[in-house]
Structure 1
């Protein structure tokens, strides 16, 4: 199995962290080319997991950890939410008049699989959920390379489609880093950090 590509961030323990988590996930999935249908389900699952983590009693100052990973060989999107609380997450079936307690029930219904594990370092636990993401499999016939190595004539996988690279330019950043400017045959262009990974393939590769 290939190493997963991932994004990690931490959230403060406040209600505004739920929409913030959704917005960050939406941005990440857009960059990875995940389709709208899978993205909407993923955002709903992450919202429930973060909401549950915020309700857990934890020592003061403890943040909520989020990890978003893509496993290309399996075509799977994995969401993880960690908190410093005790206890075992259990699926409840609340009464019709109850207004909460359906979070994990929803996760169980939407996810391909889910579970939890104790954190290997530190206190607390991590609840994870995995979704089948066919868009990841579509991109897997390419190779992952740094943006600075992309050349004209190659195709780049972005936002769920292959784009033929017409030209490549580099620009020096004020900080001393390097930005790569890719111009595609459809007239669009993208500016990207030179070290950022991109999935590419030869222009004559089969679709």
Structure 2
């Protein structure tokens, strides 16, 4: 469903059906989990995306017109940006529904949670894009690693294994039955990694902690 456009944004399309709202939340959760976003930001983003997708699904357009979603991190500004595009005309506005009304509060919630939000013409097509940004100071850039032979890896470094950076806790050597040296890395999570001593691995010297790990943004 999702299409990655580099490490800083993901786009995907949703069918015009009720299941698309929980699917959008699941995709968002997976993306933000990989970006190290704080739990409070994650929860606000899920609420905002749910409302934006719900509004887009209510637009009166042919059923074959899909809803587009873009999730991006703006590293320099410390912002998370959500975009939801539909093929409908018009411009959504914040309403103030009465106490007896059950709907109409979606954009009111977005306005309350977002750092800023807006509507613009859909790029390269008919319709519009509703976007919202959240302050997310714990968003970090993808760490830069370097490639070394497995025999050069040391405890305290981070190694790229199974699609994630993992802390190296222990390093030991073993001999293969057929001859040659194996390196066994004990990792902070997941099984140990056993590779040939000469196999190249991507490592970095330290981790980039999230705001929660740094002890920031936590109520006293």
- TM bucket (normalised to shorter chain) is 0.7 to 0.9
Indicate conservation of the 8 Å contact 1:155/1:165, yes or no: yes
CA distance in 1, matches of 2:208, 2:30: 28
Runs of 4+, deviation exceeding 4 Å: 148-151, 204-207
Give the structure with higher Rg (CA). Answer: 2
Residue 165 of structure 1 and its aligned partner are, at CA, apart by: 3.8
Which residue of 1 is the match for residue 121 of structure 2? Answer: 118
- Name the counterpart of 2:190: 188
**Counterpart position of 1:90:** 93
Aligned to 1:32: 35
What is the TM-score normalised by the length of structure 2? Answer: 0.68
Match of 1:197 in 2: none
Greater RCO (Cα-Cα under 8 Å, separation 6 or more): 1
Q: Let me know the Cα RMSD of the aligned residues.
A: 3.4
Structure 1 gap ranges (5+): 169-182, 192-199
Post-superposition Cα deviations, 1:81-128, rounded to whole Å, max 9, x if no partner, equal 000000011000011100100000000000111001101211000000
Q: How far 1:189 moved relative to its partner?
A: 5.4
- 1:87 is paired with a residue of what secondary structure? coil
The size of the alignment, in residue pairs, is 176
**Structure 2 residues without counterparts, runs of 5 or longer:** 1-5, 172-184, 194-202, 215-220
Distance 1:129 1:163, change over 3 A: same
The one of 14, 19, 24 equivalent to 1:21 is: 24
Q: Residue in 1 aligned with 2:49? A: 46
Query: Do residues 75 (structure 1) and 72 (structure 2) align?
Result: no
- What TM-score, normalized to structure 1? 0.72
